[in-house]
């Protein structure tokens, strides 16, 4: 039986389209109103509320929890102080990424790790002694993201603590009668917060939030709007931009942290004495410059895109619905040099953009690559350019 | 006398076309000065805080037909370009019902079917017909038209190429094009639709800004022109810029300055300086002079040819053409600061109907009767209203929970029969408010502030002759080869180095930017820079 998130009583009432996806076994609204782009612009211009409860949530606690996580996670959790959060990843012995996620450090010995896929048995299996406990608390909490330029002002009215929560920091707070945790995190690349609330208090939180937020034009936003913003933000998505090493059939389906643009997590490796899973393989890769891929942005030449379609008698398509496929990338000799797993027309940038996997020698910023598009069942190659990620990065995000 | 400041190019008028033109000239490396008479750029595309916390789009209120090339070539997204979507169209009927259309094709089908199952199907066919016509003639709109008066073989060849291009169109598309260009909006719409609300809603695009009724020949052309919007690949889609159209012209100003253009406010140009038949600069009203070999007028044709230069320097035929060029502004605005969104009976508590345009023009008869008043020199007793409560699209436009509403009004002819606009101004406001009260009971109680903008106000504030919002009527003899006059449709003037780039040139008005862009291409070509 498909499950309902703790906010379902409200999301179902707000969902005018009747369109739902299944996300980790929960119903998630695709779009609340007929125009998902309107929801998208709420995120970029005012603020929108997104129910992100379906994420798997693991409570990891005990005096040895930090030590345990330092050995499991690719990024050094010891640098994540209580009251902070990390975007992190975990890999296998060969350095292949299993998954990425955000971890909140609630106290010195208590963490909340989010994941898109089930990882409980895997994580428990890595406990090799000491005092570490891992519980799946996915059902016990709802998570509500408030994302967009107004998010801070609105949330501050409900909980003054928000004023002082820095980027990737968190604080306990009270909204109405509910004890919540507010983290300055999100999947939109904008100024934004996620409010973690006990399932029983979820509807009260929703109502209280909208009481304050609705006069500001805040609306709920569905999955489509969220997925446009995450491409603009250059944030990768499992099963689209990479596959879990646990379930890959061959090495082509796998990727390492450096290959997934996570090299920055390993910047301080030489001052870091941790023995974490995959370390040796990653060090070999960095030292030997043996990464097979670079994850970069590609931006399509607008003029060539328009001309290519117009010559076939078509109106220039500018579809903001994310395309999760694998459009091929070519060099001048029409040799395959990569692909674009995530592609979208960005309304705020007015350009077609994609998160791309490219062979490192072709991934220099500004390099021209040819993007293969299918127009009326014919292959056409459209000029595109390598750009850095994120595409969209407003100063307010981290300010 | 102090030495004159020297520039390569001077643009007279900081409206959207002046800014676009100046930005392109600066981008090409010309030392460019843009002179604006008022204390802010934007011309008729401005946003003003007329009541504390409420941003009014006094005149132009939507990002209508902006050419996508301009967004990219002038790198507008770097400077804050943000075209917010207006996803819905809300059209109240005469009997208290409504038509509410949005982004979902099937939902729209059901909405129209409530009024006519026939029209629900016809809507798709109509939309496809319009898209085909727009797509077919877009290349002509997107280029500088040939000079039809020229004997130059190159111009003749371009003329012949247009003939061949049209002859190659599918015959039905060509015929529909001719029907639109020469016929009335009603003729076309009655072919497709039977319900009053569909006819009225769609015919509204055939009258906006123009002194025609939906049954007048020529309203087809206006209908077609308004379908040229090409926002994110949907023809006919309009957007609303963050912060209103003033927000957009501020983006343009930042882009122009980033390319090196200098913008000088509070600088009224008195006249263009000429010497031996060529432009040498401009003089401001206060006597300040600026010199440049290129001077571009972004103001309307009347002012470009009759005011900024001495008409005696021009061929008398051109002077005559400009004197008979029709302006006859016929639109007004009535804008409100409201205490809350108004209430539409039956949709209490909802606001999705206010996320786009509110079209009060429920039938062809309604629109035609509104026009009847104007024919005889008076404003409509039951006017056509194109409203939008922009704070629903951009919450920054009004304080939390409050609303700001722009209402485009037609008809309000510039010349009144037995009165004048200073006398009638607030009476017009009352007529509009009374009509809104009929649609939204209790509307009057919500009004915190009202701004009435008559055609005379449009002329006084923006300089648009007779308050014509397009800087000249959209009538066939004033378009394409003939905008603004035969032989002078390629942005040049008889005075060497003096150019025109306003909405009175091809393709025409609306916040499109194409005139400013084409004029820059012509100028740079003449300077050997392109």
Q: Do residue A391 and residue A311 come from a single domain?
A: yes
Q: Do residue A67 and residue A150 come from a single domain?
A: no
The CA-atom distances, in angstroms, between A12 and each of A4, A7, A9, B304, B416 are 10, 8, 6, 59, 55
Q: Which residue range(s) make up the domain with A161?
A: 8-53+139-221
The CA-atom distances, in angstroms, between A220 and each of A90, A212, B483 are 32, 14, 48
Distance, in Å, from the CA atom of B44 to the CA atom of B246, rounded to the nearest integer, reads: 9
Confidence check: pLDDT of B330 > 90: yes
Distance, in Å, from the CA atom of A3 to the CA atom of A30, rounded to the nearest integer, reads: 16
Distance, in Å, from the CA atom of B395 to the CA atom of A219, rounded to the nearest integer, reads: 11
Q: What is the mean pLDDT of residues A48-76?
A: 98
Q: Is residue A240 part of a domain?
A: no
Q: Do residue A15 and residue A96 come from a single domain?
A: no
Mutant choice from A217, A318, A321 vs B, greatest count of B C-beta within 10 A: A217
Distance, in Å, from the CA atom of B181 to the CA atom of B177, rounded to the nearest integer, reads: 6
Averaged pLDDT of chain B: 95
Q: Which CATH number goes with the domain that contains A166?
A: 3.30.1360.120
- Report helix, strand or coil for A179: strand
pLDDT digits (tens, 9 = 90+) for B44-59: 999 999 999 999 999 9
Q: Compute the nearest-CA separation of B349 from chain A (Å).
A: 12
Of A38, A313, A350, the CB nearest to B71: A350
For the domain made up of B5-83+242-326+472-526, the CATH class stated in words is: alpha beta
pLDDT at B185: 97
Confidence check: pLDDT of A398 > 80: yes
Q: What is the mean pLDDT of residues B419-444?
A: 98
Rg from Cα positions in chain A: 21
Counting residues of chain A whose pLDDT is more than 90, the rounded percentage is 95
The CA-atom distances, in angstroms, between A379 and each of A37, A299, A374, A384 are 29, 19, 5, 15
Nearest chain B alpha carbon to A39:
B85
Task: Give the number of other CB atoms < 10 A from CB of residue B261.
Answer: 25
Rg from Cα positions in chain B: 23
pLDDT at B529: 87
pLDDT band at B1 (very low <50, low <70, confident <90, very high): very low
pLDDT at B104: 87
Q: What is the mean pLDDT of residues B162-185?
A: 97
Nearest chain B alpha carbon to A38:
B85
Q: Do residue A305 and residue A287 come from a single domain?
A: no
Nearest chain B alpha carbon to A36:
B103
Q: Do residue A73 and residue A195 come from a single domain?
A: no
Q: Do residue A17 and residue A122 come from a single domain?
A: no
Q: What is the mean pLDDT of residues B133-146?
A: 94
Q: Is residue A235 part of a domain?
A: no
Distance, in Å, from the CA atom of B96 to the CA atom of B30, rounded to the nearest integer, reads: 58
With CA atoms as reference, report the closest residue to A360 among A279, A256, A237.
A256
Distance, in Å, from the CA atom of B439 to the CA atom of B97, rounded to the nearest integer, reads: 10
pLDDT digits (tens, 9 = 90+) for A353-387: 999 999 999 999 999 999 999 999 999 999 999 99
A342 Cβ contact list (under 8 Å, min separation 6): A231, A236, A237, A240, A241, A322, A323, A324, A354, A355
Query: Is A362's Cβ below 8 Å from some Cβ in B?
Result: no
Q: What is the mean pLDDT of residues B345-374?
A: 95
Q: So what's the ipTM on this one?
A: 0.91
State the residue for tokens 């969220």.
A226
Averaged pLDDT of chain A: 96
Q: Do residue A23 and residue A164 come from a single domain?
A: yes
pLDDT at B236: 64
Q: Compute the nearest-CA separation of A348 from chain B (Å).
A: 6
Higher pLDDT, B229 or A140: A140
The CA-atom distances, in angstroms, between A267 and each of A78, A272, A325 are 15, 10, 31
Say how many domains are in chain A.
Answer: 3
Counting residues of chain B whose pLDDT is more than 70, the rounded percentage is 98
pLDDT at B352: 87
Of A216, A319, A345, the CB nearest to B400: A216
Report angle CA B48, A392, B103 to the nearest 5 degrees: 65
Residues of B within an 8 Å Cβ radius of A: 68-69, 71-72, 76-77, 81-85, 87-88, 102-104, 107, 131, 135, 230, 232-233, 235, 242, 352, 355, 391-392, 394-396, 400-401
Q: Is residue A113 part of a domain?
A: yes
B64 Cβ contact list (under 8 Å, min separation 6): B226, B229, B238, B510, B511, B512
Would strands B357-360 and B89-92 be described as parallel, antiparallel, or unpaired? Answer: parallel
B316 Cβ contact list (under 8 Å, min separation 6): none
Higher pLDDT, B23 or B65: B23
A33/B233 Cβ within 8 A: no
Do A388 and A297 contact (CB within 8 A), yes or no? yes
Q: Do residue A13 and residue A80 come from a single domain?
A: no
Query: Is A315's Cβ below 8 Å from some Cβ in B?
Result: yes
Q: Which of A267, A291, A315 is the last residue of a domain?
A: A291
Distance, in Å, from the CA atom of B133 to the CA atom of A244, rounded to the nearest integer, reads: 50
Confidence check: pLDDT of A131 > 80: yes
Q: Do residue A49 and residue A154 come from a single domain?
A: yes
Q: Compute the nearest-CA separation of A370 from chain B (Å).
A: 20
DSSP symbol at B57: -
Do B355 and A38 contact (CB within 8 A), yes or no? yes
pLDDT band at B103 (very low <50, low <70, confident <90, very high): confident
Do A102 and A290 contact (CB within 8 A), yes or no? no
Confidence check: pLDDT of A196 > 60: yes
For residue B361, the number of C-alpha atoms closer than 13 Å in the C-beta half-sphere is 34
Task: Report cis status (omega within 30 of 0) of the bond before A390.
Answer: yes
Q: Compute the nearest-CA separation of B239 from chain A (Å).
A: 11
Report angle CA A12, A13, A17 to the nearest 5 degrees: 70
pLDDT at B87: 82
A33/B352 Cβ within 8 A: yes
B175 Cβ contact list (under 8 Å, min separation 6): none
Task: Report cis status (omega within 30 of 0) of the bond before B217.
Answer: no
Q: Do residue A38 and residue A153 come from a single domain?
A: yes
Length of chain A: 399
pTM (global) more than 0.90: yes
Q: Which CATH number goes with the domain that contains A391?
A: 2.40.30.110
pLDDT band at B2 (very low <50, low <70, confident <90, very high): very low
Q: Do residue A124 and residue A40 come from a single domain?
A: no
């Amino acid at each position: 039986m498909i499950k309902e998130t703790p906010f379902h009583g409200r999301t179902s009432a707000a969902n005018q389209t009747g369109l739902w996806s299944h996300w980790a076994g929960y119903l998630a609204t695709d779009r609340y109103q007929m125009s998902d782009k309107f929801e998208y612009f709420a995120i970029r211009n005012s603020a929108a509320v997104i129910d992100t409860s379906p994420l798997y949530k693991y409570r990891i606690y005990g005096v040895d929890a930090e030590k345990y996580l330092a050995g499991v996670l690719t990024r050094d959790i010891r640098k994540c102080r209580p009251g902070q959060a990390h975007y992190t990843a975990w890999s296998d012995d060969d350095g292949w990424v299993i998954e990425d996620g955000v971890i909140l450090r609630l106290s010195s010995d208590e963490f909340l790790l989010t994941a898109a896929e089930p990882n409980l048995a895997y994580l428990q299996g890595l406990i090799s002694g000491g005092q570490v406990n891992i519980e799946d608390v996915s059902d016990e909490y709802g998570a509500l993201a408030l994302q967009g330029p107004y998010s801070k002002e609105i949330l501050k009215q409900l909980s003054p603590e928000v004023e002082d929560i820095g980027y990737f920091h968190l604080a306990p707070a009270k909204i109405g009668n509910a004890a919540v945790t507010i983290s300055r995190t999100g999947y939109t690349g904008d100024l934004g917060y996620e409010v973690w609330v006990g399932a029983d208090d979820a509807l009260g939180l929703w109502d209280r939030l909208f009481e304050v937020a609705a006069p500001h034009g805040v609306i709920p936003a569905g999955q489509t709007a969220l997925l446009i913003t995450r491409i603009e933000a250059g944030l990768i998505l499992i099963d689209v931009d990479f596959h879990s090493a646990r379930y890959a059939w061959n090495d082509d389906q796998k990727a390492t942290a450096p290959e997934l643009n996570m090299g920055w997590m390993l910047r301080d490796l030489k001052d870091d004495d941790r023995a974490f899973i995959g370390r040796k393989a990653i060090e070999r890769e960095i030292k030997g410059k043996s990464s097979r891929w670079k994850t970069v942005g590609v931006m399509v030449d607008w003029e060539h895109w328009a001309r290519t379609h117009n010559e076939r008698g078509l109106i220039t398509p500018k579809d903001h619905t994310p395309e999760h496929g694998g459009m091929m990338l070519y060099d001048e000799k029409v040799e395959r040099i990569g692909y674009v797993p995530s592609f979208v027309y960005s309304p705020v940038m007015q350009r077609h953009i994609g998160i791309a996997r490219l062979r490192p020698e072709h991934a220099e910023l500004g390099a021209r690559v040819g993007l293969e598009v299918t127009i009326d069942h014919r292959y056409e190659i459209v000029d595109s350019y390598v750009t850095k990620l994120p595409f969209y990065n407003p100063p307010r995000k981290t300010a | 006398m102090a030495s004159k400041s020297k520039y390569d190019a001077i643009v007279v008028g900081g409206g959207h076309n002046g800014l676009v033109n100046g930005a392109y000239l600066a981008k090409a490396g010309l030392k460019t000065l843009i002179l604006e008479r008022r204390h802010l750029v934007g011309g008729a595309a401005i946003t003003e805080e007329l009541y504390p916390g409420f941003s009014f789009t006094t005149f132009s209120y939507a990002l209508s037909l902006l050419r996508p090339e301009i967004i990219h070539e002038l790198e507008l997204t770097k400077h804050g370009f943000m075209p917010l979507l207006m996803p819905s169209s809300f059209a109240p009927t005469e009997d208290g019902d409504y038509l509410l259309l949005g982004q979902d094709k099937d939902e729209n089908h059901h909405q129209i079917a409530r009024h006519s199952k026939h029209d629900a199907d016809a809507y798709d066919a109509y939309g496809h017909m319009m898209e085909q016509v727009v797509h077919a003639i877009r290349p002509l709109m997107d280029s500088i038209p040939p000079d039809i008066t020229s004997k130059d073989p190159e111009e003749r060849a371009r003329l012949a190429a247009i003939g061949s291009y049209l002859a190659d169109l599918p015959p039905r598309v060509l015929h529909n094009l001719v029907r639109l260009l020469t016929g009335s909006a009603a003729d076309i719409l009655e072919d497709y639709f039977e319900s009053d609300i569909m006819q009225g809603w769609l015919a509204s695009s055939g009258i906006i800004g123009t002194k025609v009724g939906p049954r007048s020949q020529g309203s087809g052309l206006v209908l077609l022109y308004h379908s040229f919007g090409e926002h994110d690949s949907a023809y006919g889609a309009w957007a609303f810029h963050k912060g209103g159209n003033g927000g957009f012209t501020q983006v343009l100003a930042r882009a122009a300055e980033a390319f090196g253009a200098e913008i000088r406010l509070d600088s009224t140009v008195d006249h263009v300086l000429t010497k031996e038949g060529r432009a040498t600069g401009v003089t401001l009203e206060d006597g300040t002079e600026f010199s440049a070999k290129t001077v571009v007028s972004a103001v309307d044709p009347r002012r470009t040819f009759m005011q900024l230069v001495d008409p005696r320097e021009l061929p008398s035929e051109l002077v005559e053409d400009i004197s008979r060029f029709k302006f006859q502004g016929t639109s007004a605005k009535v804008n409100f600061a409201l205490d809350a969104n108004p209430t539409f009976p039956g949709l209490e508590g909802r606001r999705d109907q206010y996320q786009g345009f509110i079209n009060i023009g429920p039938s062809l008869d309604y629109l035609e009767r509104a026009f009847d008043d104007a024919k005889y020199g008076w404003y409509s007793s039951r006017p056509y209203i194109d409203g939008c409560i922009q704070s629903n699209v951009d919450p920054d436009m009004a304080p939390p929970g409050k609303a700001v509403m722009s209402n485009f009004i037609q008809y309000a002819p510039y010349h009144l029969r037995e009165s004048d606009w200073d006398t009638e101004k607030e009476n017009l406001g009352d007529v509009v408010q009374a009509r809104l009260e009929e649609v939204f009971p209790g509307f009057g109680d919500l009004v915190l502030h009202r701004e009435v903008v008559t055609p005379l106000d449009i002329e006084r504030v923006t300089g648009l002759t007779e308050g014509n919002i397009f800087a000249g009527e959209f009538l066939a003899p004033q378009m394409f080869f003939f905008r603004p006059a035969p032989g002078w449709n390629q942005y040049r003037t008889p005075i060497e180095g003096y150019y025109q780039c306003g909405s009175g040139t091809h393709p025409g008005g609306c916040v499109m930017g194409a005139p400013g862009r084409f004029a820059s291409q012509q100028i740079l070509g003449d300077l050997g820079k392109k």
